[in-house]
Structure 1
Amino acid sequence: MDDRPDRRRLALATAGLCVVLVAWNNLVVPALPGRPATAVAANVAATGVLLAGARGAGLTWAELGLARRRLPAGARWGGACAALVLAAYAVALAVPALRPLLADARAEGLDGTAVAIRALVRVPLGTVVWEEVAFRGVLLALACRLLRLPAAVALSCVVFGLWHVRPTLSGLAANDLADGVVATATAVLLTVLWTTAAGLLFTWLRLRSGSLLAPVLLHLATNSLGVLAAAVATRAG
């Protein structure tokens, strides 16, 4: 039986998802009115739609990293990595010379409630769960059906890197870190490379533990604790 039509549909679905994901974070979400609340709601809805579509397309919970039997392994691996991140932030905050590395102008003027909402709601729901389901869940599972594992991992990581172009531009502008087109382009390229490498670490955790929970916990610790650390460092001057 000729399986070329199935592979063609799979290739189209994978390529289409790559385009949609890059456009979503760089074009769609930044244009939403009422951000950031609407962005969180949109990403939560997109997570549900993507999971429903993946299951409808025949991807299993195990392929998506959501099999219940793998949750303990995911908790062990993710918990250990999260503890390391917590220790790193604690050291950086304890050493005055390192605190400026954590400071972020976007944390200035935020009261305790705003910081808590960002760390406990916006980051977990609007960023971490959505990104892990999209990249280490659905995109990786689709790509693994189409490509060999190294190529599938590379694809998901590169798209994850490109996902961060617009957020990088926003961060550079808020912190006045790049002056001119060349400096900005260089900073964006370096960030894309860095987030691509981070995606590789998240993917390794996902594959090693067999559970999406592992990269979720590491991602959550990095971003949510990063918000808290930035708030403390910014206030400490």
Structure 2
Amino acid sequence: MRILVIEDERLLADSIVALLKGDGYQAEAVYDGLDGLSQAKLDIYDLIILDVMLPGMNGFQIVKELRNNHIGLPVLMLTAKADLDDRVRGLDLGADYYLTKPFESIELLACVRALLRRQKEEVNEITFGDLHLDLSGISVSCNGESLRLSSKEFDVLRLLMQAGSSNIPKARILDQVWGYDSEAIENNVEVYIAFLRKKLRNLGSSTKIVAMRNVGYHLEIENEN
């Protein structure tokens, strides 16, 4: 599970990231509202932990923009304000839950687990073109045929299907799938892209993984006008 933390207090943001990683999640922090929105729009995350007061763009504006773009991933908002009006405003704009600073680590992790559990119950499949990725069964299907994926194949294909026709840089795939602290190299991405291309061919899928030199990878539907 991948979590994006958008928080301008760097010490707090980095502490949350460390806490999440310690609990088995992949997490990264962004310290500015505009950068956070840009990152969130990649739609490659399972959850966003979002501060209200941010430079560039506040948390309310970010939630509104995400929902206007039909990005429905869960949002856990953090605020130093305990004012009821702020909480109501955030929830009305599309936030899923609120935590008021300061909070306990166990409370934050409990909220994260609850929101991710709810998200998994609501979304069990991602589709793009003729491909259907089963999030619970770790398999991909096309035209009634299904193939099991390895964990890395699943993670790479999930990123690609979530991004769709938008390019994902090779370095980002490496970071998101293998982790920032991994000793894996970009060649690992190329190897798994090759594995996935073979499996998509075996399924007879019209969805292709396209490489753009010095840009990244994206999906295309063959013969799409």
Superposition TM-score, scaled by structure 1 size: 0.24
> 1 or 2 for the larger relative contact order (CA 8 Å, sep ≥6)?
1
Larger % of strand: which?
Answer: 2
Superposition TM-score, scaled by structure 2 size: 0.25
